[in-house]
Structure 1
Amino acid sequence: MTNWNDGYVVDIAYTYGYYPGMNPARLPLAFAFHGLQAPAIQTACELGFGQGLSTNFHAAASTTRWWGNDFNPLQAAFAQELAAASGSGAQLEDSSFSHFCRRDDLPDFDFIALHGIWSWVSEDNRQILLDFIDRKLKPGGVLYLSYNTQPGWSAFMPLRDLLVQHTQLAGNEERGLPTAARIEAALAFATRLFETDPVYAQTNPFMRDRLKMLQQQSRSYLAHEYFNRDWHAEPFAEIHRRFSQAGLQFACPAHYIDHLDMANLTPAQRQCLAEIDDPVLYQSTRDFMVNQTFRRDYWVRGGQVLDERQRVQALALQSVVLLTEPDKVPLTIQNVAAEITLNRLIYEPILQALSDYQPHTLVDLAASLAHRNLNLSQVIDSALMLIGTGHAAPLPPELDAATQAQIARRTADLNAYLLQRAALVLPESQEGDIAHLVSPLTGGGVKVDRVEQLFLLAREVCGDDLEAWPAQAWQHIAAQGKRLVRDGVRLEAEDENLAELATQARLFARTRLPLLRALQVA
């Protein structure tokens, strides 16, 4: 692993993920729920943006001006392509933290985001990041920080250390094996180790399943998640100690489900937490209750507190919109300990009210459902659950028509670029499905898988002629050497693939397309 990147993997690109917690449009609802006023976000920065999908989505779909860096040249180049495609003006560069964070021409920021990178870089780099946040985050500004934490990683850390030790063997380095090959060898070694039934595996039997899970994940993902030289899993109290020294206070979770203790904790656990006054001990104790492995949090520099009247008003006026067809929203969810069933008498009327795919304020939803004995508090909790499970999104504040039209043009240009990419035969270093497009309505990403993207591309070529979509999509799938899978079976014959595409196209046109059109993605 090369020195200039301080032990961070760069010879294999990261996955093309989209991370909604970094969307500033999600701040007002989360903050109001916890009694805080979210700031207006005019300038924002993501440090270590990976492929840059999130930053580019949020830059294209808002008036916020974005900056950022990544020290993987392949990733930075792709992020710059996306910025050019949208015309958002996002300033994204290929540089180290030491170079980017010491630039003297950067503005102060209302919002700074670090997704995972805090856990994967050296202590020197972490000090650079802390200094940057201390100097460049405005008063009232918000930090999004996601990171590996304890106690959930305690059992896995020895196995992770062993895997990394194996990848760093001198023999591997001398043969010049790429990262992916070294990871493959390390996983094979760990499998042989577990076949000897070590006491470690006897004491931690669930680690066998964890190893199997690692073997099934993409090597690109594993390289960046687990195989950097530096890897940290810090308890909340340590994170609080570090960032409070930079003048930040914990605001609230960025992961919306974490707002709802009723869905995550037992009555006894909630009672235990209710007896804790110290906010740091509260979060630390809650992490033990859910065996937390990964936290996504918002931190604020001098948050503005709302009184109860202001809080209720801010919540009531928040608009939300569905991201999933109502009949596809599951009413059973898996929390950290068990499967829970959502109350049909609450969720079914709310989903029905949102089924027109139009934005609705929470107060209007509550008023329209008063005859179903639903109140504003129940509607708010349900909205948080739907957003947290990815089936709904909060909307940003309304903008004037001219600005909204400009945003719509930028997002349309970016989506067009991504649709064209879905049809390309790419070199191995650039392969990887992008499973989201950007909505100017929500200010963020919407799940649209690759086949659906090819249907949207076919629609641009063939219009609403559904019969022509399968052949149009198939020519790209076949050129890429791919095949469809039905009921777990790979379809090899062309006629089988075309028949499956025809079935999927009809379903897409009837169910998904109306939703994507409402979200202004199609």
Structure 2
Amino acid sequence: MSWAAGYNNSVAYTTGYYQEQSPTWLKAALVMQRIAPPAEGQFTYCELGCGQGLTSLILAATHPEGDFYACDFNPLHVIAASAIRNDAKLPNLTLLENSFGQLADGEVELPMFDFVTLHGIVSWVSDETRAQIVRFLARYLKPGGVVQISYNAKTACAQVQPLQRLLTMHANNRGENWAGAAAFAKELVDTGSLHFQRNPDAAARVNSFATSDQRYLVHEYMHEQWTPFHFTDIANELTDAKLVFAGSARYGQMQPVAWLTDAQAAVVAEIRDPMFAEEVRDYFCNRSFRSDIFVRGKAALNDVRLREHAKRIHLWANVKVEYQPTAKLEHASVNRSEEAHRPLYDLLRRAPEMTLDQLFDAPELAGHGIDTIMQIVRFSLAVGETSLRYGDVQPRAAADRLNTVLLDQAERGEKWDALASPRFAGGVSVGLLDQLLIAPLRAKRDPKGALTSEIDEIVMHVERSLSNTGLNLNVGDRITPREEMPAAIRKILADSGPALLALCDDNDFWHGK
């Protein structure tokens, strides 16, 4: 077998950021499920299969107290991440070009880790490689350590396996790339293939190919191995590393979930085995992807210990999201209790920031117990009304340096999909055009004033960036001609400038502020 071990390395992976891999996010998620997180202070962290490394770059920049390692066996990925790391001067990030087998066998000198994260990796590798991952975790995860692992879930993805096989077989048989295989699958859908008629989720995926990032599609489907898993199968494999399921990394999936009907909740309540109950919930929502947290040593938090950690969980309102009496959560629309949910919404909009412990004692939430308040908070987080961070905001110098480098890369036509936010202790998704608009504003002492007093310079700067990179400026479905570009940029800044300033204010993107 080649060094790629069945993984498609024909193109570099996308440059996404995944908040669920953040150590502070994981600490908060554990506390919100009454599980003790790792101790405060210095920590070690490893991302297995880091792609082009944006998640680890942002986490290293926003967690200067952490010692980060990120591994990927594709040299293109390691080269890209190393260039950004070096330019941003992030001494707490070590990038490794090694296979999981080499790491599991101790061929690289590594510390013991407090956190290990894997985004999607186990669904794309062989049984042998998964066994190497388990051996790595058994060898290098500390007692009390945390593992975040995300993967394709069998309940919804089982019907997609024939599509994945169709795509890879067509590519190999015809010697064609993704475009040819995708066109062939679309031809089968359009000519009335009974398989796609009876498997509408698979047909919907084919129909979405035209509007999706091709790099993502290649890495999602074009592997020799593409395996969705039942939750209990993953949990059983991880027992060899003494890992125990601690809960979800996603607030909408934490127990008790809000979207079960009364009849469904009654079914789950009759199941004595909590692991089987967790898997049954996947059937009720037809889940296609899971993001789970496992720990080596699961210590429950009593009320006293919970309150100690609740003092470290900071919450604030996402002012862009309005309160909805009926909110979309996963697959379902959930009717909310006005008496329970609205007071939290209003309270967080009156205060710039509160701790979870303060919410426990808030008069507006009197009459609700601690666990009920946590359920309300989890719901608010899941629908995007509320943001959180575990711990204090860390020194921002490294985040400033990284954002400077990422914005400079954007002006060269390189697409990195997020910027580092000290307030979130992680990353925030920012589109390429917004990054090109932020770059000249961020260099100004008074960005708000510069939108009027220095607008000509800013427009010229953005126009030059678009021209140098060969990027088009699309307004609706129309590509803006070069001669119309200054007027179009000026209009965008006039219409969206205040929102852009608010984005930078809310996420603490301004340099040195």
Relative to the length of structure 1, the TM-score reads 0.87
Counting aligned pairs with the same residue, the percent is 28
Q: Which moved more, 1:213-222 or 1:328-337?
A: 328-337
Q: Which moved more, 1:221-230 or 1:310-319?
A: 310-319
Partner residue in 1 for 2:430: 448
| 156 and 477 in structure 1: CA distance in 2 versus 1, 3 angstrom threshold | same
Partner residue in 2 for 1:99: 102
Measured in 1, the distance between the counterparts of 2:359 and 2:492 equals 33
Q: Which moved more, 1:107-116 or 1:310-319?
A: 310-319
Residue 275 of structure 1: CA displacement?
A: 1.8
The correspondence of residues 79-90 of structure 1 with structure 2, limited to 5 A, is 79-89=81-91, 90=93
Partner residue in 2 for 1:222: 217
Q: Which moved more, 1:357-366 or 1:3-12?
A: 357-366
The correspondence of residues 156-167 of structure 1 with structure 2, limited to 5 A, is 156-167=160-171
Within the candidate set 452, 458, 463, 1:474 is matched to 463
Query: Is 2:246 the counterpart of 1:279?
Result: no
SS state at 1:193 partner: helix
| 365 and 448 in structure 1: CA distance in 2 versus 1, 3 angstrom threshold | farther
Measured in 2, the distance between the counterparts of 1:37 and 1:14 equals 34
SS state at 2:290 partner: strand
Residue 318 of structure 1: CA displacement?
A: 1.8
SS state at 2:157 partner: coil
Measured in 2, the distance between the counterparts of 1:225 and 1:450 equals 23
Q: Deviations over 1:159-215 (max 9, x none)?
A: 21111111111x41xxxx5xxxx2111111122222332321232244322210133
Partner residue in 2 for 1:116: 120
The one-letter amino acid paired with 2:507 is L
Q: Which moved more, 1:475-484 or 1:15-24?
A: 475-484
Partner residue in 1 for 2:47: 46
Within the candidate set 300, 306, 312, 1:305 is matched to 300
Query: Is 2:24 the counterpart of 1:30?
Result: no
SS state at 2:68 partner: strand
| 509 and 363 in structure 1: CA distance in 2 versus 1, 3 angstrom threshold | farther
Q: Which moved more, 1:62-71 or 1:384-393?
A: 384-393
Measured in 1, the distance between the counterparts of 2:98 and 2:257 equals 44
| 190 and 133 in structure 1: CA distance in 2 versus 1, 3 angstrom threshold | same
Query: Is 2:473 the counterpart of 1:484?
Result: yes
The one-letter amino acid paired with 1:231 is W
The correspondence of residues 145-294 of structure 1 with structure 2, limited to 5 A, is 145-169=149-173, 171-172=174-175, 182-259=177-254, 261-294=256-289
Partner residue in 2 for 1:60: 61
Query: Is 2:88 the counterpart of 1:78?
Result: no
Q: Which moved more, 1:476-485 or 1:251-260?
A: 476-485
The one-letter amino acid paired with 2:473 is L
SS state at 1:192 partner: helix
Partner residue in 1 for 2:364: 370
The one-letter amino acid paired with 2:319 is E
Measured in 1, the distance between the counterparts of 2:361 and 2:499 equals 28
Measured in 2, the distance between the counterparts of 1:507 and 1:350 equals 32
| 317 and 376 in structure 1: CA distance in 2 versus 1, 3 angstrom threshold | farther
Is contact 2:316–2:354 with CA below 8 Å preserved after alignment?
Answer: yes
Measured in 2, the distance between the counterparts of 1:471 and 1:330 equals 41
Residue 31 of structure 1: CA displacement?
A: 1.3
| 149 and 460 in structure 1: CA distance in 2 versus 1, 3 angstrom threshold | closer
Q: Which moved more, 1:369-378 or 1:53-62?
A: 369-378
Is contact 1:452–1:508 with CA below 8 Å preserved after alignment?
Answer: no
Structure 2 segments unaligned to the other structure (5+ residues)? none
Residue 372 of structure 1: CA displacement?
A: 9.6
Is contact 2:344–2:364 with CA below 8 Å preserved after alignment?
Answer: no
Q: Which moved more, 1:372-381 or 1:253-262?
A: 372-381
Partner residue in 2 for 1:335: 329
Is contact 2:418–2:429 with CA below 8 Å preserved after alignment?
Answer: yes
Is contact 1:325–1:512 with CA below 8 Å preserved after alignment?
Answer: no
Partner residue in 1 for 2:406: 418
Residue 344 of structure 1: CA displacement?
A: 6.5
Query: Is 2:377 the counterpart of 1:383?
Result: yes
Structure 1 segments unaligned to the other structure (5+ residues)? 426-430
Partner residue in 1 for 2:387: 393
Residue 479 of structure 1: CA displacement?
A: 2.9
SS state at 1:188 partner: helix
Measured in 2, the distance between the counterparts of 1:454 and 1:221 equals 23
| 37 and 61 in structure 1: CA distance in 2 versus 1, 3 angstrom threshold | same
Is contact 1:315–1:380 with CA below 8 Å preserved after alignment?
Answer: no
Measured in 2, the distance between the counterparts of 1:477 and 1:450 equals 10
The one-letter amino acid paired with 1:238 is D
Is contact 2:235–2:245 with CA below 8 Å preserved after alignment?
Answer: yes
Partner residue in 1 for 2:129: 125
Residue 74 of structure 1: CA displacement?
A: 1.2
Is contact 1:436–1:445 with CA below 8 Å preserved after alignment?
Answer: yes
Residue 285 of structure 1: CA displacement?
A: 0.7
Relative to the length of structure 2, the TM-score reads 0.89
Residue 307 of structure 1: CA displacement?
A: 1.6
| 135 and 415 in structure 1: CA distance in 2 versus 1, 3 angstrom threshold | same
Q: Deviations over 1:277-320 (max 9, x none)?
A: 21211111111111111110000001222123433553365212
User: What is the number of equivalent residue pairs in this alignment?
Assistant: 498
Q: Which moved more, 1:4-13 or 1:497-506?
A: 497-506
The one-letter amino acid paired with 1:140 is G
Measured in 1, the distance between the counterparts of 2:172 and 2:186 equals 18
Q: Deviations over 1:71-117 (max 9, x none)?
A: 11111111112222333321112222222333352011111111111
Is contact 1:147–1:233 with CA below 8 Å preserved after alignment?
Answer: yes
Residue 241 of structure 1: CA displacement?
A: 1.2
Is contact 2:328–2:383 with CA below 8 Å preserved after alignment?
Answer: no
SS state at 2:424 partner: coil
